[in-house]
Structures are given as structure tokens and as C-alpha cells.
Amino acid sequence: MTRLRSGLSRRGFLGASVALVAVTRTAVTQANADPSAEPLRIAVIESLSGPQASSGVLFQSGIEYGRRKINQAGGFNGRDVELISYDSGGTSSGASSRFQQAAADGCQMIVMGSSSAIVAQLSEDARKHNLRNPDRPMMLMNVGSGALAMTGERCHFHNFRMFPIASMSVAALTRVMRDEGTLGGKVFAINQDYSWGQEFEAAVKAQAAKGDFEVVGAVLHDVNRIQDFAPYVARIKASGAHTVMTGNWSNDLLLLMKACADAALQVRFATCFLDQPGNIGNAGAAAEGHYVATLSNCELNPDFAEDFKAEMGHYPVYNETGSTVGMGFLAAALASLPAGDKVDVNAIGKAMEATRIEADNGLQSLRAEDHQFVTPLVVSRVARGARYPVDGTDLGFVPVARVPAEELIYPVQASCVMQRPA
């Protein structure tokens, strides 16, 4: 584990200077490409309306930034990469309907992140589409969902996860907080009652079994249906917990933070999505000392942060940072391919498997056996004096430590039997 200081690394696009250099080199060879060559069309199928829109809109923004940087460096196949956005409405049925529309519109890739249920639906839609259309396959790049099944029984060649699973995030949080002496001996787990939340709770209990702490309470609640978290906060307080570990996101984390502030609950939070806009504002001064495990932190790459602000009008936050990491990895993979008349999705997938990036969080790669992103995680602490304060407060996320990928990655699941294209 590497201790971090603000400004430790200054790299280009997405912390992946290798990606930008490689794309620039490829742009030279693409300059003479046939202008009638097929462009790469990426569909963003996201929750752009409804209670999950606060997450989906930021995924869309980060993906758009990544597309712009690829095009500024020469595009792909001698053409600008195109991006078409579709609103799933936050439902699996809506996402499936948008998938059919994206296929009809000639999209070869889908990039999205919010909701494990939606990722599962889109992955299955892509699998079935590719069985019917082996000469025109579609690829799914998931930049925000950690459901374990997607690299297990639901794995397939055209499904890529550029995001950690719950056990990776919990392990990073536990290690850093334990080493800092801030974890405490009593932990309460509160999570949403679906695959991600269930797996997060299981990961917390697995860490407790190693002797790091005692789980003094655990609760699973409905997703995006709870309007008042006060009863849950009362349970946390009664448990005597020192730390609350949660994989909650979107409204469920925003409202939980507000309820904790209203009750003046004095506990420390360990999270994956605390950097969502509004969480620190809702928590107030009590947020100081909370932790978050993410793919990166803008303080490690201020050049990227400033460039993102110049392009998008604000500093990157929450899902924007994670989705730009995924797009940076895609940029490096695209850069390794020669220009051609057609977009070869299978070739892009194989290039993804071979890609290695030295990014601001460390070495990133993709495991070919199940298409799990192998990446270090950065654990940050909410503190005053951060370079990028949030929510109009004097608090921000200060990077504390980088936990190497080899300490976090889990074994390939026996249930993943990937059939590769010829």
C-alpha cells in the first residue's frame, strides 16, 4: 500500500498519459484513412430521468468527456467517435428497449454504469444479439456496476467490467482505516437490498471474520424507496458502532447522510460513493473523517481535473471520474488497432484484453479470463483544506493511500466459462 500526498502524480487524460500518447500516434496513421470508413458509434444507455438520474447523468458526462478526448487525438478508424444517449428511465425493461433502438441505430458499443439489474439486462441483450448477428456483434462496457455475477455465470466475451466488485472496495477501506487507527472495533453495515448491496454486506462480514472488527448490526433496505432513514439511524446509534460501512448510492446515500446529520450521529462512514454531489452538504461538518474508496482522486491528477473543467464546465465528481477511467482504457485499446473500412468489435475486445496503462492510481489491466478490470483503488478521507472542496463547503476528499490491485483482485470464478470468438 502506498501512502499518498496531494499532487503526487501529474498525468494527462484520465490519468492515463499512455493512452493519450498512443492515440496521438495512431492519429497520424489514421489521417490518411478512407473518410467513408465506418465510424465507431457508442450508445450511452443510462438512467437520465427518475430517482437514479443523479447518477446516470454524471456517467453520461464522463463518457462524453472521454469521447471528446479520443476525437481530439484523432478519433478512431479515421473518423470521429460518435455518441448517442438513450434514457433507460432507471428500469431494466426501459434499458432493453433502448438497446434495440441502439442496435437499429448502428451502435457497436454500449457504455453505462448505473444499476446492476440494468447491466445484467443489457449484457444479456448483447449476448443474444451477438448469437443472432455474429458478423455485427455489440460490446458492453460497464463503468459503474459491481455485481459479481457479471464476471461469473453471466460472463461472456462482449461484456467488460471497468469497475471493482464489493469485496475489492471493502478490502481497500478496511486496510487503510485499520492502518490509520480509525476503523474501530464495531462496524454497522447498511446496504440496498439487491445484488450489489447484498455482496457489499457479505464482504463486510468476510472482513470481520478475519478479526479486523465485529459486525454489530446489518440491514438491507429497499432500493430508492426509503424517504426517511431516521429509523435506520436509530438502529446504528443503538448498536454502538464506531464505523458504518455502506455501498449505498444515489438517493439512498443522500438521504442517509441527511438523516445522520439530523440525528447528530457521531460515527465514521466507509463508502464507495460518498463523492456523489450533495452527500457532504447533507452530512455537514460530521462528514469530516469519513472515507471513500474510488478508482482515482483529482488531487492525484490536477492536469486532468483542470482539463475536464475546461471541457465540461466543472471539476469531475463521482461517476464522472470512474467513467473517464474506463474511457481512457478504451482509448488505449483503440490506439493499438489499425484503421479499417469496418469497426471490428471483436478486435476491440481483444485489444482491451492486451491493454496495460500506468495511470494516476497505478497499473491498470483487464483480466482476459472474465473481463474484470484489475486496478488499484485510492482511499480518500473527507478533510478541510482539500484542493477541490465540494458542495459549497470547506471539505473535500484528500487521498490517503493507494492499495495495489494484487492485494484486492479476487480469483476467477469457476462459473465463468467464456466462449471466445474465432
**Cβ atoms of residues 168 and 195 within 8 Å:** no
pLDDT (0 to 100) of residue 30: 46
Q: Do 117 and 79 fall within a single domain? A: yes
Residue 300 domain-assigned (yes or no): no
Q: Which has the closest alpha carbon to 269: 250, 237, 246?
A: 246
Q: Do 82 and 156 fall within a single domain? A: yes
Query: In which domain, by residue range, is 152 found?
Result: 2-164+315-374
Residue 307 domain-assigned (yes or no): no
- Backbone phi, psi, residue 85, to 5°: -100, 140
What are the distances in angstroms from CA 287 to CA 86, 350, 404?
35, 43, 26
Residue 171 domain-assigned (yes or no): yes
Q: Do 142 and 171 fall within a single domain? A: no
Q: Do 260 and 389 fall within a single domain? A: yes
- Please give the full DSSP string across 55-95, using - where no structure is assigned: HHHHHHHHHHHHHHHHHHTT-BTTBPPEEEEEE-TT-HHHH
Model's pTM, two decimal places?
A: 0.92
Q: Do 137 and 195 fall within a single domain? A: no
Q: Do 109 and 132 fall within a single domain? A: yes
Residue 322 domain-assigned (yes or no): yes
Q: What is the CATH number of the domain that holds 95?
A: 3.40.50.2300
In the chain, DSSP finds a helix count (H) and a strand count (E) of 12, 16
**Cβ atoms of residues 237 and 265 within 8 Å:** yes
Q: Do 215 and 189 fall within a single domain? A: yes
Residue 417 domain-assigned (yes or no): no
Specify the DSSP class assigned to residue 174.
Answer: H
Q: Do 268 and 388 fall within a single domain? A: yes
Q: Is 172 left (phi over 0), alpha (psi -120 to 50) or beta?
A: alpha
Q: Do 95 and 136 fall within a single domain? A: yes
Residue 16 domain-assigned (yes or no): yes
- Angle in degrees, 0-180, between the axes of helices 319-335 and 302-312, rounded to the nearest 10: 100
Q: Do 257 and 385 fall within a single domain? A: yes
Total tally of structural domains belonging to the chain: 2
Question: CA–CA separation, 48 vs 75, rounded Å?
Answer: 26
Q: How confident is the prediction along the chain (422 residues), in pLDDT tens digits per residue?
A: 777 644 333 344 555 433 443 343 344 344 445 678 899 999 999 999 988 898 999 999 999 999 999 999 999 998 999 999 999 999 999 999 999 999 999 999 999 998 899 999 999 999 999 999 999 999 999 999 999 999 999 999 999 999 999 999 999 999 999 999 999 999 999 999 999 999 999 999 999 999 889 999 999 999 989 999 999 999 999 999 999 999 999 999 999 999 999 999 999 999 999 999 999 999 999 999 999 999 999 999 999 999 999 999 999 999 999 999 999 999 999 999 998 899 999 999 999 999 999 988 889 999 999 999 999 999 999 999 999 999 999 999 999 999 999 999 999 999 999 999 98
Residue 70 domain-assigned (yes or no): yes
β-pair partners for 269: 244
pLDDT (0 to 100) of residue 202: 98
Q: Do 38 and 142 fall within a single domain? A: yes
Q: Do 190 and 51 fall within a single domain? A: no
